[in-house]
Amino acid sequence: MPISGLRQRPIAPGTLAADTGQVLELRPNCECCDRDLDPASPDVLICTYECTSCRDCAENVLHGVCPNCGGELVRRPIRPARLLAVNPPSTKRVVRPDCIPDSAR
């Protein structure tokens, strides 16, 4: 359903040929347990600032709340495979030392 009366247009295959500079980072790891995260995984959650968590930490350690901003953790969108070459996932790892799951202690 359109938001605020705006009509969404589908993006034709091959339309995005260059980096737009306005994409999610797709961080490579969980900031809590440092687990590697697949950019195509539906089990990655982010907040509005892109703090990134695996589903296990988001649900069992953080209880759905970002420890940085206090915002909601929601499922990270999956970038279509054809666009990963144009806008690859980030390689910068971020780890919060104060957010360690009980199982890792």
pLDDT tens for each residue of 55-96: 999 999 999 999 999 999 999 999 999 999 999 999 999 999
Query: What backbone phi and psi angles, to 5 degrees, belong to 101?
Result: -60, 150
pTM listed for this prediction? 0.76
Query: What backbone phi and psi angles, to 5 degrees, belong to 5?
Result: 80, 0
> Is residue 52 within 8 Å of 46, Cβ to Cβ?
yes
Q: Is residue 32 part of a domain?
A: yes
* DSSP string computed for 70-81: -PBPEEPPPPPH
More confident residue, 16 or 60: 60
Query: What backbone phi and psi angles, to 5 degrees, belong to 78?
Result: -100, 125
Q: Is residue 80 part of a domain?
A: yes
CA-closest candidate to residue 96, choices 57, 63, 45, 60: 57
Domain range for 58: 25-92
The total of structural domains in the chain comes to 1
Q: Is residue 100 part of a domain?
A: no
CATH code: domain of residue 65: 3.30.40
